Structure 1
Amino acid sequence: MLTTHAHASRAYLAMNSITEGSKSQLAFYEVLNGQHFDAFLSVSGFDTRFIPVHYYNIQALNLMWNHLKGGAALPPSQVIRTVPRGGTAGAAPALTTANLPAISASPGSDAIQVEAGAVNVPK
């Protein structure tokens, strides 16, 4: 990650809650261990520690499509707890769904709460 959540997307989420309040339809998904430059994922050391955010971009786009076309509710804001591949730098094992949990319709204790500019992200 080149820009931390606290200095980019969380700030947007906080401002949105101030601007739109309870009328906000924003859903925010914070992907742990995410790296949005897929080309870096093959670099030794990156491969063992990070997962591709692109995987979640596709999920989020499909969720939005279903929301706009079929009225499906968007899953609430949440932390997505991915699992790094580990292994040897430069030779990490292949990604599996065990590394990449889905965006959850019911995030439970991983739900992100926001109100009046205050963002509460579970640890």
Structure 2
Amino acid sequence: MFVTGRADAILPINHTSRPYVGLNRRVEGKHSGLRYYEILNAHHLDVLNGFPGIAERYVPLHHYYFQALDLVWEHLTEKRPLPPSQVVRTMPRGNLTTPLGEANLPAISPEPVPQDRIVFTGSQLRIPE
């Protein structure tokens, strides 16, 4: 399972997560168990989100790391299927004093809408905008 922030300027997803996921699907094909969750408005340096000008634009990626761990645990212990690969559409809070809620941090969906699904077609990984 990969959980990646789309707004990561230090570890750009076109050079890290996306190529790995594409290669995995080319090698393992439809039998791949890999899931890929791309989180909008997030990057891997959550510690920076406390600074002025940053909190207004980003959401914490660690929230999704914990959710992903829970999903894997449920998969291993209760045989629940992992959600399909998807884009998770977050909403920045606007300012540091506004609390984060479900509108800002929607859950990884067990059944994402078709326009949010990340799919592998032919030899291409297709990721919604």
**Normalising by the residue count of structure 2, what TM-score does the alignment of the two structures yield?**
0.87
* Residue in structure 1 matched with residue 118 of structure 2 by the alignment: 112
* Residue in structure 1 matched with residue 47 of structure 2 by the alignment: 39
* Residue in structure 1 matched with residue 100 of structure 2 by the alignment: 95
Deviation at 1:117, TM superposition (A): 3.9
Which of structure 1's runs of 4+ aligned residues deviate more than 6 A? none
Amino acid at match of 1:106: E
Mean Cα deviation higher: 36-45 or 77-86 = 36-45
Query: Does the aligned pair in 2 maintain the 1:18–1:115 contact within 8 Å?
Result: no
Relative contact order, higher structure (CA 8 A, sep 6+): 1
Report the aligned-residue RMSD. Answer: 1.2
SS of aligned partner of 1:45: coil
What's the CA shift string for 1:44-79, capped at 9, x where partnerless?
Answer: 111100011100000000000010111100000000
Query: Does the aligned pair in 2 maintain the 1:77–1:113 contact within 8 Å?
Result: yes
Segments of 5+ residues of structure 1 without an aligned counterpart are none
Q: Which has the higher helix share?
A: 1
Query: Percent identity of the aligned residues?
Result: 42
Query: In the comparison of the two structures, how many residue pairs are matched?
Result: 120
Deviation at 1:35, TM superposition (A): 2.2
Amino acid at match of 1:25: G
What's the CA shift string for 1:68-119, capped at 9, x where partnerless?
Answer: 11110000000000001114xxx44221111000000111120001145411
**Normalising by the residue count of structure 1, what TM-score does the alignment of the two structures yield?**
0.91
Segments of 5+ residues of structure 2 without an aligned counterpart are 1-7
